[in-house]
Amino acid sequence: MPHLVILYTPDVEADADMPALCRALADTMIEQRDDQDRPVFPIGGTRVLAYPAAHFAVADGSGEHGFVYLNLRMAAGRSDAVKKRVGDALLARLKRHAEPLLAKRHVGITLQIDEAPGQVYDGKCGNLHPLFQP
């Protein structure tokens, strides 16, 4: 973890460059530092995934309006200040990326951050994390 999932109406894809957005947001997450100047997120656990919605209804149903929903899920343990800095940094990067899209059409954009307190189960299997250990 962290996992950032992006759901969007397919009509925004032509003007949004979703692969570039995914990379930009992943880089933003990796750049974040806590109050002791340590990385907030592990490189090997950082994932950004984007999915167009197969079915959707937005606003008045005219078909002229798009939507992009981003949800960052992270494990518990970070301070409120760090979580706010992460959210502010992601939103700033998102706004820069979305400028051309918003100049062309009306699109609702939401970024939410959820913390996973009291996880019941968090199983992991893989060999990606060791690649990025100092």
Structural domain including 62 reads 3-132
The domain total for the chain is 1
- The pTM of the full predicted model, rounded to 2 decimals, is 0.88
CA atoms within a 13 Å half-sphere pointing along the CA-CB vector of 57: 2
The CATH number of the domain where 73 resides is what? 3.30.429.10
**Residues whose CB falls within 8 Å of the CB of residue 89, separated by 6 or more in sequence, listed in order:** 28, 31, 32
More confident residue, 134 or 87: 87
Instruction: Give per-residue pLDDT as tens, 41-84.
Output: 999 999 999 999 999 999 888 888 999 999 999 988 899 999 99
